[in-house]
Every structure is written in structure tokens, then in C-alpha cells.
Amino acid sequence: MPRGKFTSHKGRNRRFTNPEELEEERRKEEQQRKWRQQRGEVSSSDEEEAGDEENSEAASSEEETDSDEEPKAKGVSNLIEIENPNRVQKKAKKLSTLNTSTLSDDSPQLSRREREEIEKQKAQAHYQKLHAEGKTEQARADLARLAIIKQQREEAQKRREQEKKQKEEAAKQKTAQTQKALGKK
């Protein structure tokens, strides 16, 4: 063992209390409590301690079944009331209340993005319907353009037919002239 001012106590022997000694102490405390009760000198703290000792086994079984009770406060937290808005206390919900709440909400609550996406799709479908009926500005412009194109195509078709007739007539005249020149007719 080192000499000097600083010594370590870690290497010393440890002493454990025997279970028999603990049992004996408990019996003595129980006898003192009974004696005080008989004399009427029981203080509230003694009653609480005695009640805690007697009900410790019952309390352990109650803790397993009854989880609604608040846990025992540690330190001075039971003396000071603290309202922390971020602290969430879990509350046990009954199955019957859960079932009624889910039945009342037939439509699930959608997020803002989902709602906007659905509205956008509905608006697009409505626009397509109006466009097909020709009631939108763009549809009117498209129909006007189509009418102009149809008219131009008809005119072009008539011109082609006239040119074709003229070519056929020109070809007939040419063949007639060549036949006349050859003297066949």
C-alpha cells in the first residue's frame, strides 16, 4: 500500500449484508411500527412507509395491469409544476373510441400537395372536356385554323383538277393536230 496523502480504496475487501441480517432488521422495524400504532404515535411518514412495504407486492401487480397512473416523481419535480409544450404524455386509448373515430372519418385527410395534385387533374379533365366541345378560346382558334386549311385544300384540289383537264385537252389537241398533219383523218 502506498504511503502518503492519496490512497485508493479499491483494493479493500467488500462486505455484503447477510439475508438473515436483513430479515432480522425488517422484523424489528415491523415490531416498532406495531408498538407505535398501539400507542398512537404513528406519524404520516411511518404510515406511508408501512403501507409501501405491505403493498409493494400488490403494487407491482397493479403496475402491470394499470398503466394510467403517473410514474412516481423523482427529485423536486413533484413540487414544481412545469408545463412543457413539447412534452407528450402517452395516453392509453380504448379500442371502442378508436373504432368510432375511424368510422366518422370516411375520407382520409390529404396533404396540401396531394390536394393540389387532385385539383390539378380535375381542372385538366374539365378543360379537355370543354376543348372537345369547342367552348375554349384555343379550341375556337384551332377550329378556325382547320376551316382555313380545309378551304385552302379544296381550292388546291380544284386547281389540280383544272390543270389536269387542261393537260388532257392539250394532249388531245396535240394528238389531233399530229393526226391531221399525218392525214389519217
Q: Would the pLDDT of 170 be above 70? A: yes
Q: Are the C-beta atoms of residues 110 and 118 closer than 8 Å to each other?
A: yes
Between 4 and 106, whose confidence is greater?
Answer: 4
Between 6 and 34, whose confidence is greater?
Answer: 34
pLDDT, tens digit, 9 for 90 and up, residues 99-155: 766 555 555 688 999 999 999 999 999 999 998 888 889 889 999 999 999 999 999
Q: Are the C-beta atoms of residues 67 and 93 closer than 8 Å to each other?
A: no
The pTM score is: 0.32
Read off the C-alpha cell for 148: 382555313
CA angle 63, 65, 66 (to 5 degrees): 65
Q: Would the pLDDT of 176 be above 80? A: yes
Average pLDDT for 30-51? 74
Read off the C-alpha cell for 169: 385537252
Q: What residue type is assigned to position 40 of the chain?
A: G
pLDDT, tens digit, 9 for 90 and up, residues 43-97: 555 555 555 555 554 444 444 444 455 667 677 767 777 777 787 777 887 777 7
- How does residue 17 score in pLDDT terms, banded at 50, 70 and 90? confident
pLDDT, tens digit, 9 for 90 and up, residues 82-107: 777 787 777 887 777 777 665 555 55
Return d(Cα 35, Cα 42) in angstroms, integer: 9
Return d(Cα 50, Cα 34) in angstroms, integer: 10
Between 131 and 4, whose confidence is greater?
Answer: 131
The per-residue pLDDT for 92 is 81
